[in-house]
Structure 1
Amino acid sequence: MIPPKTAMLLPSHAGGGAMGNNLVAFGRLLRRAGLPIGPAELLAGAAALEAIEIGDKAQFHAALRATMVHKHEHFFLFDHAFSLFWRDPEAGAHAAAMALMDGMKEQPKPTPASRRMAEALQGDKPKPPRPPEEPPEDRIDMTFTVSERERLQTMDFEAMSAAELNAAKKEIRRLVLPLDARPTRRFRPDHAGPYTDLRATIREGLRTGGEIMDISRRRRVVRPPPLVALCDISGSMARYAQILVHFLHAVANDRDRVHTFLFGTRLTNVTRQLKYRDAEVAFEMVAHAVPDWSGGTRIGESLELFNKAWSRRVLGQGAVVLLITDGLDREGAKGLAEATDRLRKSCRRLIWLNPLLRYAGFQPKSQGIRAMLPHVDEFRPVHNLASLRDLVAVLSDPRAGRMGSAA
């Protein structure tokens, strides 16, 4: 929460007069829209304003964006808020009048950022007093109702507001991913094990002068296989990648041997960054490590690089691979089929998660999708909480295995 007296603490150049109040109001708008803005960001922004020509709008925007925004995925939301607020700092007070005037015109479908900004601006309006409650009537309601939590399960990530995204992230942290355990090459001592341990038996016999008193036994070690996630963070996947990285962070902190790679125009290993328990610290580290967030897409080159540099390191012991992408490659299908086929042969299961499957009439028309589809074991949607829960159930099913080519 931003204290009301924060403007009094700002430097004289930025904090004097109306500028300090406007800067605090702008910080509150960003915070209501979902950005982690506090007094530290406001003070840093005010200090930056002292070092620039405050009348230059480009310098003004760049100074506030560099000091108040810490994540790449928040840049678009900040730019939208900046263009709305600094055009008219009193926009919150006039939000109702603006909505009334715009209501007479046919409006296009608002983007998620526009909707979240509208919700933040509406936060300045005082809430109307509640009408007096009337005594309830004795009536039996037989209509089917859906709770807020159930509605959140089927809502598309791209259509969620800031509050709904925060609620979805909390739901994601409750997901448990108990992958089906698989036998390894290692053995452990077990007096009731099914295998005879000849070496341990002879070693124990040496302690009794060569007389074997008991037969040592052992059992094969069983553990879940490694989980490898390859997540597309290009412009077409940016909205979904933001919350899917939260899912991968929750999985990485719930179990061991989870390897995460992000790719757009290049491949970046963020396994170490997502191991931090604190989500904010982890995403801050990811933001510094990934230079191509919301850029182009080179799926074929990224998969080829993974096959050459990382597959032998992380795809042992029956690894399961989650390939998270919409299949829209800027290079067409160049080398994509070969790279996907090699990836499939290097792991036990290759599951392709595609948010485009949320459309009932989806057809694999793009070259990238047609090139990849014959070489994956499963083709599943990933666009809401319900699809993530279905994924967890499939990965935890001991009967599931290599399903053959997807249709």
Structure 2
Amino acid sequence: MLAGAAALVEIDLGTRGEVHAALRATMVHRHEHFFIFDQAFGMFWRDPEAARHASAMAMMEGMQEQQKPPPAARRLAEAMQGDRPKPPKPAEEPPEERVDMTFTVSERERLQNMDFEAMSAAELAAAKREISRLVLPLDARPTRRFRADPGGPFTDLRATVRNSLRTGGEILDISRRRRVVRPPPLVALCDISGSMARYAQILIHFLHAVANDRDRVHSFLFGTRLTNITRPLRHRDAEVAFEAVAKAVPDWSGGTRIGDSLDLFNRLWSRRVLGQGAVVLLITDGLDREGARGLSEATERLQKSCRRLIWLNPLLRYAAFQPKSQGIRAMLPYVDEFRPVHNLASLRELVSALSGPQAGRMRSAA
């Protein structure tokens, strides 16, 4: 918005074409959003009765069918019509009709399989509520610590001798102990570049729910730089947490430097957060503006520093997906799992995979 306001100062505000070009150049960051911006610009300045007359003329003249708008166009229409008053209800409402719902798909089931990119504003709000209820019981792993347990499998000689001092050195009971078992740390590295911004907004809700459900959860965002948002996400109030994240992240919806961000994480944070068999979630589409420079080495080092490296890529929602970009080909050999993350069903599958026992590393092809 600031860039758009600055651009309007440099042009002739009396020329509609210059205003359109200036705002489009500063506000649109993705090619598929050009159509949405043009529609929003036209809807803002058009005559309220123009749409009705245009549709009537199109039917009379037999104009060709227009191109199908992208999924985000529905959210645009909802935003433009959100402040309009609702039509008054009729005096007498018709009787409620009973519809046989046998063999039909429920609204909740449809929401589970809908792509986040195609959701309306109301559907996104419902999806965020579903995400907040997800529980992530990570597979517990044994640690080096022990705790006292009368029924434990190990004998605690030190505690046995210490307790015998109470009875003059006579051993009356054998103390036992058990190894402490706890879930491993979870580290999330989420891409917030322009191509991932829509999915990143939803996945941050998922990370917030996980961070408030368990301890040792570390979250990082990266675009052109790396930002640690672990502390802001620990706030119980989601609005307060997301406001703090927005203030801490300066490069939202910008470019992508995956290799530089992973290298910075390996040098500054890996020794702090990747201990005790940590599980790493790498959330990105693999499209790096620097190509594959240093990406292979950084991903290999990241994999060797953790127990499991899981790559979540929204591009896997396409059945014909092929790892053709340089970034994807550089990273793919060094990940343990390659999973889609584009709807609620894919998040539930991820939760099930993380909750089950895993012996060693596992590989899955794209």
TM over 0.5: yes
| Count of residue pairs brought into register by the alignment | 336
Q: Does 1:150 align with 2:109?
A: yes
1:373 is displaced (CA, Å) by 0.5
Q: Residue 259 of structure 1 aligns to a residue in which SS?
A: strand
Q: Residue 296 of structure 1 aligns to a residue in which SS?
A: coil
Residue type of the alignment partner of 1:393: S
Map 1:163-312 → 2, pairs under 5 A: 163-312=122-271
* 1:257-313 residue CA offsets vs partner (Å, 9 max, x unmatched): 100000001110000010011111111000000000000000011111111110111
Q: 1:102 to 1:277 in 2, by over 3 A?
A: farther
Residues 377 and 406, structure 1, Cα contact 8 Å, conserved in 2: no
Q: 1:136 to 1:371 in 2, by over 3 A?
A: closer
Q: Residue 45 of structure 2 aligns to a residue in which SS?
A: coil
Unaligned runs of at least 5 residues, structure 1: 1-54, 62-75
* 1:345-383 residue CA offsets vs partner (Å, 9 max, x unmatched): 111110000000000000000000001001000000000
1:390 is displaced (CA, Å) by 0.4
1:386 is displaced (CA, Å) by 0.4
1:117 is displaced (CA, Å) by 2.4
Which residue does the alignment assign to 1:71? Answer: none
1:125 is displaced (CA, Å) by 6.6
1:404 is displaced (CA, Å) by 3.5
1:108 is displaced (CA, Å) by 3.4
Residue type of the alignment partner of 2:196: M
Map 1:69-84 → 2, pairs under 5 A: 83=41
Which residue does the alignment assign to 2:9? Answer: none
Residues 95 and 121, structure 1, Cα contact 8 Å, conserved in 2: no
Q: Residue 373 of structure 1 aligns to a residue in which SS?
A: helix
Residues 160 and 174, structure 2, Cα contact 8 Å, conserved in 1: yes
Which residue does the alignment assign to 2:325? Answer: 366
Q: 1:328 aligns with which of 272, 287, 299?
A: 287
User: In structure 2, how many angstroms separate the alpha carbons of the residues matched to 1:343 and 1:336?
Assistant: 11
Residue type of the alignment partner of 1:264: G
Residues 374 and 406, structure 1, Cα contact 8 Å, conserved in 2: no
Q: Does 1:396 align with 2:362?
A: no
1:142 is displaced (CA, Å) by 8.8
Which residue does the alignment assign to 1:353? Answer: 312
User: In structure 2, how many angstroms separate the alpha carbons of the residues matched to 1:186 and 1:81?
Assistant: 61
Percent identity of the aligned residues?
75
Residues 226 and 265, structure 2, Cα contact 8 Å, conserved in 1: yes
RMSD over aligned CA atoms reads 3.3
Deviation larger for 102-111 or 334-343:
102-111
In the superposition, the TM-score normalised over structure 1's length comes to 0.74
Deviation larger for 95-104 or 309-318:
95-104
1:129 is displaced (CA, Å) by 6.5
User: In structure 2, how many angstroms separate the alpha carbons of the residues matched to 1:346 and 1:360?
Assistant: 32
Q: Residue 293 of structure 2 aligns to a residue in which SS?
A: coil
Q: Residue 369 of structure 1 aligns to a residue in which SS?
A: helix
Q: Residue 341 of structure 2 aligns to a residue in which SS?
A: coil
Q: 1:290 to 1:102 in 2, by over 3 A?
A: farther
Which residue does the alignment assign to 1:44? Answer: none
Residues 179 and 395, structure 1, Cα contact 8 Å, conserved in 2: yes
Unaligned runs of at least 5 residues, structure 2: 1-11, 20-32
User: In structure 1, how many angstroms separate the alpha carbons of the residues matched to 2:88 and 2:54?
Assistant: 18
Q: Residue 196 of structure 2 aligns to a residue in which SS?
A: helix
1:95 is displaced (CA, Å) by 6.0
1:118 is displaced (CA, Å) by 1.1
Which residue does the alignment assign to 2:337? Answer: 378
